[in-house]
Structure 1
Amino acid sequence: MTRLSNTVAVVTGGGRGIGREIALQQAREGAKVAVLARTVTEIEETVSLIEGEGGQAVAISTDMIDLAAVENAFTRIAAQLGAIDILINNHGSFQGFGPIWDCDPLVWWRDVEINLRGTFNACRSAAPMMLARSRGRIVNLVGGGTGNSFPHGSGYASSKAAIMRLTECLNDTTVIHGVRAFAVDPGLVRSAMTEMQLSSEAGKTYLPGIQKLFDDGVDIEPSRAALLIADIAAGRFDTLAGRLLRGIDDRDALAEDMDAIVAADGRALRFSAVEQAKL
């Protein structure tokens, strides 16, 4: 028996890239997987890959910013696969590049809406199901700009910082009832999102650092985040609930450092110790 046997995992944005790798790894660990995204052909391909490896999965086309659609998707998942144990919010958008006066405000806001509102909708739909059983784990993917400035990616950065804080608030609300939330930064992964940044004129103009990072060999394999999230789903990092874990982390070293991280209140959005003392 594998360590996620008899569990049900939901992976949003699971039709390609990091999300597909996460979904595949959840299935390899024994979970039944619901793969959500808008593009039917992509999520059906992910399901086909899972089934080809002997796993069980369903594809559900869902617009993550439509709360009713998300709620209906989660109801379908529970009916088809069983009660949801693991939610992984991987969906994301980053199309608004440049200083805010050059960005199309609708594109800028669309990034925030997909990333933050979509994550809120999924958490809001899943958490009551988990709380009713006093168990569950939610993983929200964050990224560039979560804990630092990202001047020409302000919409994406603002949404990811907000998701980090949402994760902390959610965990502090639910952890006493057995439901834990985590934030994961997968690192710089070559994906459809980064390819658009590399190829578009706006991306070349405002985000040249992305190409330089790839040129310098910074290219994290999506399997690293997928393996980390499988560990989270299996409970290995429960001590770090409410905190940030990274795809580049050495998972064994991270497991050894958990108590020290909590003692230092690390991997969280906080004022500095000096500023905290003044509050």
Structure 2
Amino acid sequence: MKQVIVVTGATGGIGQLLVSGLLNEDRHIVCVGRRASALSDLVEKLKLENGLSDEHLSFQVADMSSPVDVELAASKIGSSMRRIDLWVNNVGVNNHNAMGASWEVASDAWYEEVQLNLFTAYLGSRAAINLMKSQQHGYVVNLGGGGADTPKPFGSAYGAAKAAIVKFTEALNHECVEENIGIRAFCFNPGFIRNPRTEALVKSEVAKKYMPNLEKVMESGRMSDIEDSVFLLETILSGELDHLGGRYFSADLFRKQWEEGIQPEACLLRVSK
């Protein structure tokens, strides 16, 4: 039986890279996004490049910020797939109009940034767990990011949303344990990965003003590698991290942590005493 993986925001920069990295003959990946044409192009491109078929790739259209869309997509996925092994809530945005001093950013732009990052993670997690409950097994993975463990000045909406996603994931995992549901939730930061979106961000005037270090990082070549994120997801799928459910990982550091032995308390956001 093929493993079934759902990746939301699949046509985005990191989303496409995750789908490509996780794809193999023993899996079926469902790509979720807002635009049918972009999803179809992605699926056909990956099938052609990897010599695969409809047995390995499909897509569902959904706006992950819409409860109705998410429930409809989840229902279709549940009907077509026998099980879901991993659901990755990759949707996230770092909108230019939500950058700046918090008292100067328009309130609706600030709120939208939180909604498109935090609320989409909630809706995706809710749908995934309701699909997985009957099988008593599966993994929900949310993406954290900049601002989750250190302040993100001039990007407070994004940073606050990512920090909230980390704590939401931890609470979600506790709920599954207390309700005796065999599902585990994880959160991780993929790092700063080169893709068309990050390149556009770095070149933007707002990034040059508020995040000038990004251009220096990109020029130095010291960027994150998507293979580290894929390795983390593969390790989660193996079941070897089940005892660390609810934890928050940095993909950049995970391999070393894994080799040296992960300290459970080091992967939780806590207020320093």
Deviations for 1:5-42, whole angstroms, at most 9, x for unmatched residues?
Answer: 52211100111321112112332262211101113233
- Alpha-carbon distance in 2 for matches of 1:97, 1:196: 15
- Alpha-carbon distance in 1 for matches of 2:159, 2:28: 32
- Alpha-carbon distance in 1 for matches of 2:142, 2:72: 20
- Alpha-carbon distance in 1 for matches of 2:103, 2:256: 45
Q: Does the residue aligned with 2:252 lie in a helix, a strand or coil?
A: coil
- Alpha-carbon distance in 1 for matches of 2:146, 2:186: 17
Distance 1:266 1:250, change over 3 A: closer
Taking the TM superposition and a 5 Å limit, the aligned residue runs for 1:102-181 are 102-175=104-177, 176-181=180-185
Partner of 1:27: 23
1:49 to partner: Cα distance: 3.4
Root mean square deviation of aligned Cα: 1.8
- Unmatched runs of 5 consecutive residues or more in structure 1: none
Asked if 1:211 corresponds to 2:207, the answer is no
1:256 to partner: Cα distance: 4.4
The 8 Å contact of residues 112 and 158 in structure 1, kept in 2 or not, is answered as yes
- Alpha-carbon distance in 2 for matches of 1:212, 1:203: 12
The range that moved more, 190-199 or 56-65, is 190-199
Distance 1:102 1:179, change over 3 A: same
Q: Does the residue aligned with 1:204 lie in a helix, a strand or coil?
A: helix
- Alpha-carbon distance in 1 for matches of 2:39, 2:266: 36
The 8 Å contact of residues 93 and 193 in structure 1, kept in 2 or not, is answered as no
- Unmatched runs of 5 consecutive residues or more in structure 2: none
Aligned length: 265
TM-score, normalising length: structure 1: 0.88
Partner of 2:238: 234
Deviations for 1:83-141, whole angstroms, at most 9, x for unmatched residues?
Answer: 22211011111012111123232222211111110110011111122122210101101
Q: Does the residue aligned with 1:36 lie in a helix, a strand or coil?
A: strand
TM-score, normalising length: structure 2: 0.90
Deviations for 1:161-202, whole angstroms, at most 9, x for unmatched residues?
Answer: 000001000001113421000011101112343223212221
Asked if 1:39 corresponds to 2:51, the answer is no
